[in-house]
Amino acid sequence: MSKHGQVKKAVLAYSGGLDTSIILKWLVEEYGCEVVAYSADLGQGEELDHIPEKAKKTGASSCHIVDLKEEFARDFVFPMFRANTLYEGRYFLGTSIARPLIAKAQMEIAAKEGADAVSHGATGKGNDQVRFEIAYYHFDPAIKVIAPWREWDMKSRTALENYAKKHGIPVPTSKKFPWSSDRNLLHISFEGDVLENPWAEAPEEMYVLTVRPEDAPDQPEFVEIEFEKGDAVAVNGEKMSPGQVMDKLNALGGKHGIGRVDLMENRFVGMKSRGVYETPGGTILEEAHRAVESITMDREVMHLRDSLVPRYAEMIYNGFWFAPERLALQALIDETQKTVNGKARIKLYKGHCRVVGRDSATDSLFNVDFATFEADDVYNQADAEGFIKLNALRLRIAAIQRAKK
């Protein structure tokens, strides 16, 4: 038995990169346990066929590859986009929303394998450790969580490379692209290296999903997106699954250089951190969704929902996707989406996307008879005087009181 006691089998969230390859070997050596590798396909845009062989060569007893793309889009991305969710007004939460699903599938494998521990490659400085582990405990409050970055004494990239060389782990380390990245169907994120200087512009060669806006086509392109109950169901008249919608919008947005964000964000663990993100499809989707809402949602319902979005975004960013407060808010958000049925036309041009048309055949609250600047027979403009005086009453009373002083 190892010095760590009772761990017999652990399931590791494994990407095949430097960190998780070393963690796999370290778990075998340090804990003396069987390690089952697990990789989630969330639309990283790379083949995962090589992962099982690499995992087994590094010491894994077996390896699970799980295709989560459609579940990710349908059950995580789309519910979040029903609220037009942005963290700190800028971040589409592409990494944050992926972690609960990765953890959920990992815990399902742990149960299937009879594992008594799970492990991840998140550092002790970041948000991901929180997101993973809160989700783990939601599914099994007694699970043993192994977070190597909080245990081992390897504190630098050089130390990791030395460990890899010592144990014969074939991990390439590129000096050309030294920043870290995380990609899925919603976005790609970049951190580290030159980005740790808040004043330095992100290098152009870093970007993966989007062309440089200046190099995007000189002619605009228009895309029409149809929604049912707040979820996108068709692009340019073609019915699509949630995953297909994201693929299509990512391609369109990337072509026109849409969705780049450079953000200094507040991590849940306390420090500020710079992240650069590409979210081409999500940026278009949010613009279109908001457009359909604008013509179908009641004003007070929209304003109530919008007032709750910063808190909702914070819940997701901090890792509380499975928490009761998030589920309660989701129920309210989903209720607001029952009338969000219609379509929006979006203009794409050199890094920008903006709505140029919106319509709903079934739920439009726009009535041209009331809104027109031309003559009408449905609205008495004189009625506005009483409305204004009632709303101004408290200000008039305050002015009278000030005049007495």
Do 14 and 131 fall within a single domain? yes
Q: Which residue among the candidates 62, 180, 181, 294 is catalytic per the annotation?
A: 180
Same domain, 208 and 136: no
On the question of pLDDT at 347 being above 90, the answer is yes
Domain count, the chain: 2
Choosing from 15, 19, 21, 119, the catalytic residue is: 19
| 188 & 156 share domain | no
User: Is 180 tagged catalytic?
Assistant: yes
Structural domain contains residue 101:
yes
Q: What are the CA-CA distances from residue 34 to residues 60, 274, 291, 301 (Å)? A: 7, 37, 52, 53
Out of 15, 39, 96, 99, pick the active-site residue.
Answer: 99
Instruction: Pick 271 or 157 by higher pLDDT.
Output: 271
Mean pLDDT across the chain: 94
Alpha-carbon dihedral angle through residues 72, 227, 249, 331, given to the nearest 10 degrees: -30
> pLDDT-derived band of residue 4, with 50, 70 and 90 as boundaries?
low
Q: Three-class SS of residue 189?
A: strand
Q: Assess whether 19 carries a catalytic annotation.
A: yes
Given 138, 166, 194, the domain boundary residue is: 166
Q: Which of 39, 96, 128, 305 is catalytic?
A: 128
**pLDDT at 1 (0 to 100):** 44
| Lowest-confidence segment of 130-144, 177-191, 212-226, 243-257 by average pLDDT | 177-191
- Say whether both 62 and 139 belong to one domain: yes
pLDDT in tens, 282-295: 999 999 999 999 99
Rg, Å, the chain Cα set? 25
With respect to residue 371, please indicate whether it lies within any of the assigned structural domains: no
> Quick check: is 354 in a domain?
yes
Residue-wise pLDDT for 199-255, tens only, equals: 999 999 999 999 999 999 999 999 999 999 999 999 999 999 999 999 999 999 999
Which of residues 107, 142, 166 is at a domain's end? 166
Q: Is residue 204 part of a domain?
A: yes
What angle is formed at CA 161 by the lines to CA 26 and CA 115, rounded to 5 degrees? 20
Identify the pLDDT of residue 216: 98
Is residue 196 situated within a structural domain? yes
**Which residue, of 132, 166, 200, is where some domain finishes?**
166
Span 11-21, average pLDDT: 91
- Which residues are paired to 348 by β-bridges? 221, 353
Does 126 share its domain with 233? no
Is 369 among the domain residues? no
Residues 120 and 253 in one domain: no
Active site residue 128: yes
Residue 4 forms part of a structural domain: no
Q: Return the CATH number at 289.
A: 3.90.1260.10
Looking at residue 61, what is its pLDDT? 97
Residue 132: CATH number of its domain: 3.40.50.620
Supply the range of the domain harboring residue 103: 9-82+93-166
